[in-house]
Amino acid sequence: MNILNDRYSQRGVSAQKEDVHKAVAQLDKGLYPNAFCKVYPDYWGNDPEYCNLMHADGAGTKSILAYLYWKETGDMSVWQGIAIDSIVMNIDDMLCVGATGPFTYSSTIGRNKHLIPGEVISAIINGTQAYFDKLSEFGIDVRFMGGETADVGDVVRTVIVDGTMACRMRRDKLVTTEKMKPGDVVVSLASYGQATYETEYNSGMGSNGLTSARHEMLHKKYGTQYPESVDPNLPEDVVYNGKYDLTDATSTPLNIGKMILSPTRTYSPVILKVLGQHFDKIHGIIHCSGGGQSKCLHYLPSAMRVVKNNLLPVPPLFKMIQESAGTEWREMYQVFNMGQRLEIFTDETTAREIVNISESFGIQAQISGYVEISATKEVVVQSEYGSFLYK
């Protein structure tokens, strides 16, 4: 067993969610089994030209980082960032099937009331609405339907922030990955830098791999000072193994804590424009969240090989995580987005136009790979750190 998977297992998490995939294996896959999100008939309107989508996700253990940073610095802004993470992990998954709204959203917050006061809940809820107001400036309509806030201290040690998003859309506007084929190229959109609609540098962290990032980068003292941030059943040798303080400076404009807490970037303004201009040429959109650069493997419609031989440069954050953990690079590309969190499958001419659209929003993009004939479904990552095969 490799180092990362061994530590992941000891920490009680799974990078690939094998148990979850097994548990849902027998469930209805919806109208388009290979689509990035499950698509159902139009139960609400009963119109065969429409379909319904619903998606649930959240900020995961990133909320623990927010808790630590808030306790150490008093900075309340990190809670709005957590609200954004929960929203974007929903909306950007739904973008992958061509959904651009209008959306409805319901939040689910579970807290330990003894540790998470009302002002934090207020920051999360008001931060949610503030982000929807921001998205509306770019033509993304999301209506906040309220949700559930529960005091569950016996279940949640600090706080967990999740959300559920839904929409109704025309079936002829779906992107289902069924058109992905040999001959396509892959366009990768950067997860780092500063988009025109962001207020500061984004490290590219997203909301995946936070358990590893937190324990591998942060100093052991955080486990002692904040035992509520750790499962008491974890082996001591996998708890806060790093050398960094949350407020340590980095080579970026952000300190360590803010680097790991960078709000997950949404690509919705970009994708809205891409689909508006090139919908017929878009064969697949993949959100490289859990599963990293191997994520597309689960959505290939048939046997084919995706070769990623020109990925964007790895940003400082992921190099720091790898150095701190001593993780094999193969596993880094399978757990983290490594600097590109969204990829689009299309033809080469359209790909160049998508690059231009992305860069008009300040987001670096490039043709990062291609699809070729293969006897099996597989992904090959050819990087400066080695060549890695995923099946």
Indicate the DSSP class of residue 83: H
Domains and CATH numbers, the chain: 3-390 (3.90.650.10)
Q: Are 91 and 134 in contact (CB under 8 A)?
A: no
Contacts of 216 (CB under 8 A, 6+ apart): 7, 241, 242, 321, 324, 325, 327
Q: Mean pLDDT, to the nearest integer, of 371-376?
A: 98
Q: Is 90 exceeded by the pLDDT of residue 25?
A: no
The predicted structure's pLDDT at residue 24: 66
Amino acid at 70: W
Pair of tokens at residue 343: 């990829």
Q: Is 90 exceeded by the pLDDT of residue 375?
A: yes
Q: Is 128 helix (H, G, I), strand (E, B) or coil?
A: helix
Q: Is 371 helix (H, G, I), strand (E, B) or coil?
A: strand
Task: Tell me the backbone φ, ψ of residue 52, rounded to 5 degrees.
Answer: -115, 145
Share of the chain above pLDDT 90, in %: 90
Q: Where are the beta strands (DSSP E) in 298-339?
A: 305-308
The mean predicted confidence, pLDDT, of the chain is: 94
What are 283-340's pLDDT values in tens digits? 999 999 989 999 999 999 999 999 999 999 999 999 999 999 899 999 999 999 999 9
Q: Are 99 and 141 in contact (CB under 8 A)?
A: no
The predicted structure's pLDDT at residue 1: 43
Q: Is 50 exceeded by the pLDDT of residue 148?
A: yes
Task: Tell me the backbone φ, ψ of residue 319, rounded to 5 degrees.
Answer: -65, -40
Q: Is 80 exceeded by the pLDDT of residue 19?
A: no
For 169, how many CA atoms within 13 A lie in the half-sphere containing its CB? 21
What are 218-242's pLDDT values in tens digits? 999 999 999 999 999 999 889 999 9
The predicted structure's pLDDT at residue 5: 54
Indicate the DSSP class of residue 193: B
The predicted structure's pLDDT at residue 20: 57
What are 61-72's pLDDT values in tens digits? 999 999 999 999
The predicted structure's pLDDT at residue 283: 98
The predicted structure's pLDDT at residue 13: 63
